[in-house]
């Protein structure tokens, strides 16, 4: 998905099917509904680098231009990430 520049990261993520967000801003919690496990916390990657929390992700991408966001939730899609991505992956690419 190509994000709109005027919406913050939480707003962008709310547009994806299967993504549920509790809260706002950097304190939000993000969950993905996967086919196998129900709802799970998510692994975030920004420009290929794994982030340790949504708060870190939110701070890093705030004020930058988002090129795209990719939500991976199917087992075949997250297999590349191994254990790190076993509960779903959100890839964020900035400009």
Over residues 75-89, the pLDDT tens digits come to: 888 888 888 888 889
Q: What's the rounded Cα separation, in Å, for the pair 56 and 79?
A: 24
pLDDT at 42: 87
Strands (E) across 1-95 are located at: 19-22, 29-34, 38-41, 43-46, 49-51, 66-72, 89-94
Provide, rounded to the nearest whole percent, the portion of the chain with pLDDT above 70: 83
Interval 57-68: pLDDT, tens: 998 887 778 899
Global pTM value = 0.82
pLDDT at 65: 81
Is pLDDT above 90 for 90?
yes
| H or E stretch at 36 | none
**Quick one: pLDDT band at residue 40, thresholds 50, 70, 90?**
low
Domains of the chain: 9-94 (2.170.130.10)
Q: What's the rounded Cα separation, in Å, for the pair 66 and 95?
A: 6
């Amino acid at each position: 998905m190509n994000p709109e520049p005027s919406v913050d990261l939480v707003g962008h993520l709310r547009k994806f099917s299967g993504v549920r967000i509790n809260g706002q801003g950097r304190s939000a919690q993000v969950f993905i509904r996967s086919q196998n496990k129900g709802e799970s916390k998510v692994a975030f990657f920004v420009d290929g680098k794994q982030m340790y929390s949504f708060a870190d992700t939110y701070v890093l991408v705030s004020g930058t231009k988002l090129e795209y966001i990719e939500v991976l939730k199917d087992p075949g899609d997250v297999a590349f990430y191994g254990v790190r991505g076993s509960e779903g992956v959100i890839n964020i690419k900035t400009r």
